[in-house]
Homo-oligomer: A and B are copies of this chain.
Amino acid sequence: MDFSSKLLENAVHEMAQLPGIGKRTALRLVLHLLRQPEEQTTHLAKALVDLKTEVKFCKNCHNISDFDLCEICANPNREKSLVCVVEDIRDVMAIENTSQYRGLYHVLGGKISPMDGVGPNQLNITTLIDKVKREEVTEIIFALSSTMEGDTTNFYIYKQLEDYKITTSTIARGIGVGDELEYADEVTLGRSILNRVPFENSLKS
């Protein structure tokens, strides 16, 4: 693209660094900001820089938090011996939205992915093992997405925990509530038959 202004070109270039934002979309967003009051741009810029420079992570579960301990870890009503292992804060938010989970989380911050240069040391795995060593945990629920990276990460952690007396589980895979069988993929449908549950369980909401 041939811009008439270096300032514009630079803004579009930086905006297009964001994932899923191409040059055309970046230009549309930047031109939108140009038409809006100056505050919108300064507020956006300040919010991003503030977050990046002042962000804290919960020292127990590594979730993003404004305090040393996140709201969930600090809540005395949560079951501290039950830990759900997730990839990032979006998974925490998704599970919290269900209101079905009363334990704590452990945010890994990613999945093991040699292709992207992410090894076990880049993830918050040792602190999870330490929790188990200190006998704070009785059950770990793996809730990573079931991709190759997710399965690798699950298995890596599982192997580290073999010598400790804790229960490990993964969230149930199966046909989504309200979904039609005929559109489900074979792997999911197969697993949902293998891991069938007592009928009475389906009566609970």
Interface residues of A (CB under 8 A from B): 1-8, 10-11, 13-15, 17-21, 25, 27-35, 38, 40-56, 58, 63-66, 70-72, 88-90, 92-93, 96-97, 110
Closest B residue to A58 by beta carbon equals B4
Question: CA–CA, A56 to B45, complex, Å?
Answer: 20
- A96 CB to closest chain B CB (Å) equals 6
> Top 4 closest A-B pairs, CB basis?
A45-B45, A41-B52, A14-B47, A11-B51
Cβ–Cβ < 8 Å partners of A6 in chain B: 66
Tell me the dominant secondary structure on chain A's binding face.
helix
Which residue of B33, B43, B52, B88 contacts A33 across the interface (Cβ within 8 Å)? Answer: B52
Cβ–Cβ < 8 Å partners of A63 in chain B: 4
- A40 CB to closest chain B CB (Å) equals 6
Cβ–Cβ < 8 Å partners of A50 in chain B: 7, 10-11
Contact present for A47 and B5 (CB under 8 Å): no
Contact present for A11 and B48 (CB under 8 Å): yes
Other CB < 8 Å A-B pairs besides A6-B66, A14-B40, A45-B49, 14 of them?
A: A2-B97, A4-B66, A4-B71, A4-B89, A7-B51, A8-B64, A10-B50, A18-B29, A18-B32, A18-B44, A20-B29, A35-B110, A41-B48, A44-B45
Contact present for B17 and A44 (CB under 8 Å): yes
Contact present for B49 and A42 (CB under 8 Å): yes
Question: CA–CA, A28 to B63, complex, Å?
Answer: 15
Question: CA–CA, A6 to B56, complex, Å?
Answer: 11
Question: CA–CA, A70 to B3, complex, Å?
Answer: 11
6 A–B contact pairs at CB < 8 A?
Answer: A11-B47, A14-B47, A18-B33, A20-B28, A31-B88, A38-B52
- A15 CB to closest chain B CB (Å) equals 7
Contact present for B1 and A51 (CB under 8 Å): no
